[in-house]
């Protein structure tokens, strides 16, 4: 509903935020793009509140949306009372697992976020009644510079939560997320956790042998058509590779008129009975409609009809 070019006006409430901030002035306008940098690079609490008010109408309304979204994602042990984590309250809480769920959703469905979480340093420009001035944003995630393949995600600190960190790194097509709360040595902890994960997880190509698969075709010269299945790459722990099973979902027949490569079903890859990936099943060749033959009397009828209309 909004674009990166939309301008957001800073309210007095947003300006009043403490903790990490980018020192927005009341009435100052910044684009959504700039505010995302302020939030994801510099942990700007004032920028977070400005964005919350722009999207939700008020911080309170936006926080309600946060809690609704968290519940929909299955974050069963999370409850927000503000949009930036400053409130010291027993009603404001989360867990490492829930943070991992949230981070996974963000990275999977909004890959453009990496353009922000991987920024190391960048300047923004404040334009207020006092004039124009530059302000430097510096990323506090040291893993971006010290851990190979790191693409984010976010640091955090409050007096009650202490040092908190969610990181993500990618190597050889495998992405792993690590989360720690109240970890004094989080930089080294995350490096060790990610190293452990990359030793255990590899990207495996799953390709079902579909040579024996075919579908009956109604209304075609061909009675059946072959079915093809593309490969799927899955990040799997070493001990999981031989435990993957496959289930085929196809109709009993299809109608003629399909071109080669059209989807006619799905293959589901399962681990411990749970679907972890799907791939389309497609026609290996076209199946054109059977040509209709015209009988002798139809030919004579059309000929006479043509004479009468001249």
For the stretch 119-152, pLDDT in tens is 999 999 999 988 999 999 999 999 999 999 999 9
The beta strands (E) that lie in the chain are given as 7-9, 29-31, 121-128, 131-138, 150-158, 162-171, 174-181, 201-206, 214-218, 224-229, 232-237, 244-249, 253-255, 263-271, 274-283
Nearest CA among 20, 73, 82, 23 for reference residue 45? 20
Mean pLDDT within 4-28: 95
Whether the bond into 140 is cis, omega within 30 of 0: no
pTM exceeding the 0.75 threshold for the entire prediction: yes
Q: What does the pLDDT read at residue 18?
A: 87
Q: Tens digit of pLDDT for each residue in 206-249?
A: 888 888 899 999 988 888 999 999 889 999 998 998 899 999 99
Say whether 90 sits in a helix, a strand or coil: coil
């Amino acid at each position: 509903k909004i674009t990166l070019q939309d301008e957001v006006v800073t309210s007095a409430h947003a300006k009043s935020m403490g903790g990490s901030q980018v020192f927005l002035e009341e009435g100052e306008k910044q684009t959504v793009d700039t505010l995302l940098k302020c939030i994801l690079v510099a942990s700007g609490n004032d920028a977070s509140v400005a964005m919350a008010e722009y999207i939700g109408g008020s911080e309170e309304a936006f926080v309600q949306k946060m809690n609704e979204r968290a519940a929909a994602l299955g974050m069963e042990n999370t409850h927000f009372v503000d949009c930036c984590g400053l409130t010291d309250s027993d009603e404001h809480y989360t867990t490492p697992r829930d943070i991992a769920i949230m981070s996974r959703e963000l990275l999977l469905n909004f890959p453009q976020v990496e353009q922000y979480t991987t920024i190391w340093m960048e300047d923004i420009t404040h334009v207020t009644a006092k004039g124009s001035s530059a302000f430097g944003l510096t990323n506090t995630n040291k893993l971006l510079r010290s851990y190979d393949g790191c693409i984010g995600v976010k640091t955090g600190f409050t007096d009650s939560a202490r040092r908190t960190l969610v990181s993500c790194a990618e190597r050889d097509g495998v992405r792993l997320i690590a989360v720690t709360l109240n970890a004094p040595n989080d930089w080294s902890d995350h490096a060790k956790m990610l190293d452990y994960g990359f030793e255990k997880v590899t990207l495996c190509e799953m390709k079902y042998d579909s040579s024996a698969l075919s579908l009956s075709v109604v209304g075609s010269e061909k009675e059946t058509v072959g079915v093809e299945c593309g490969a799927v790459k899955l990040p799997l722990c070493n001990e999981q590779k031989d435990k993957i099973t496959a289930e085929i979902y196809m109709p009993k027949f299809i109608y003629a008129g399909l071109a080669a490569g059209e989807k006619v079903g799905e293959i589901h890859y399962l681990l411990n009975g749970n679907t972890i990936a799907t791939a389309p099943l497609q026609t290996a060749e076209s199946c054109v409609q059977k040509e209709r033959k015209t009988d002798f009397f139809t030919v004579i009828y059309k000929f006479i009809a043509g004479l009468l209309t001249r």
